[in-house]
Amino acid sequence: MLHNGAAFFPALIAAIDAARVEIYLETYIFAADATADSVQQALTRAAQRGVTVRVITDWLGSGRVRSLSLQQEFEASGVMYRAFNPWFRRGVARMHRKMCVVDRHISFVGGLNIIDDMVSDDDLRLPLPAPRWDFAVSISGPLVATIHLELEAQWLRLGEMKLLARLQQFKRSRIRRPGDAHGPALAGLVLRDNLRNRRTIQRAYLQALGHARQSALLTSPYFAPGRKLRRGLEEAARRGVEVTLLLGVGHYRLQDAVSQSYYPKLMKAGVKIVEYRKTTLHAKVAVVDEHWATVGSSNFDGLSLLVNQEANVVIRDADFSRALRQQIEIGIADGDAVAVDAFDNLSWQARAWHGTAFFLYRLLMRVITIGNRE
């Protein structure tokens, strides 16, 4: 487990500097700051010593101007670069994943973009009061081959592929390669896309909640789940499972109102809600009971669960789950618990604002998820 950029970026750069053959790196945001420059320089050093380096960023996430500068800078240094879905040519879906594979030996999956922990991802001129709160995992062993296969496939899809080649690549991607279960932990890559894995991440959460017996801690910066996931949270709480949501607030006013519109019904079912304001909460992690955990890029909202490309790792391991639980509990202690009766006596203006935000959100999701709803 890698908590925040203080652990993630040194591990990532060390792996890149040790690369001898090949690097794939995929991120939603590749910023223009000191931390991103250090990663970019490491990738350049690798390319200059003969390593094949391929980088994918999201065109919207990194921005049009930044994507263009990355293309020019990377190509000048020998790094191959592709932007995902420029000018929305392939619809509204974004590539929101954050993954890297080095020499098919070590990989990284999580929620951290290539951006400094101490600056806002909305405006690099705005410092954060504390490091952005986020997680990633470094992975070795059989699962790396699966992650490499997905990154390689993504690179090929973004290039010029003929129809027959695309069909063949799709068939290969459907083959499930068994891994060695005799390692220190059992883990799997869980993807979401609009072709073969449309509900996979949501299904993983629902299965974990359905089997929960004692507790479920779930963390997300954006919270606007569909009916099925809300029902899964409520049913687990009614069974006596201690369900706690740690949610980021203060980033977008409209998003906060949408999230809060769900609070009353969830809390009535017994779900505990804690709002985190210490700094930007960007983590998309969860721990259920003592053995199931996930770390990745998928938020609990319609964009992540129904539109964007996302990647999580699900881990079945008591030690890892315990360590992640401790970190989430620290976040809960730093947050503000929402009182059960906090929304009982809201003013009509606040109720109208929540209702309007919910209506606008649902309208937007109905438009952009036509043919891909729950």
For the beta carbon of residue 195, count every other beta carbon within 10 angstroms: 8
The maximal CA–CA distance of the chain, rounded, in angstroms, is 65
Please give the positions annotated as active site: 96, 98, 103, 282, 284, 289
Residue among 268, 249, 267 at smallest CA distance from 259: 249
**In whole angstroms, what is the distance from residue 40 CA to residue 149 CA?**
23
Q: Which amino acid is at 350?
A: A
Strands (E) across the chain are located at: 2-3, 22-27, 52-58, 80-84, 99-102, 106-110, 135-140, 186-192, 215-220, 223-224, 242-248, 272-276, 284-288, 292-296, 300-301, 310-316, 336-337
Residue among 114, 108, 105 at smallest CA distance from 81: 114
**In whole angstroms, what is the distance from residue 212 CA to residue 206 CA?**
10
- Residue by residue, DSSP assigns 255-271 as HHHHHHHTHHHHHHTT-
Are the beta carbons of 241 and 303 closer than 8 angstroms? no
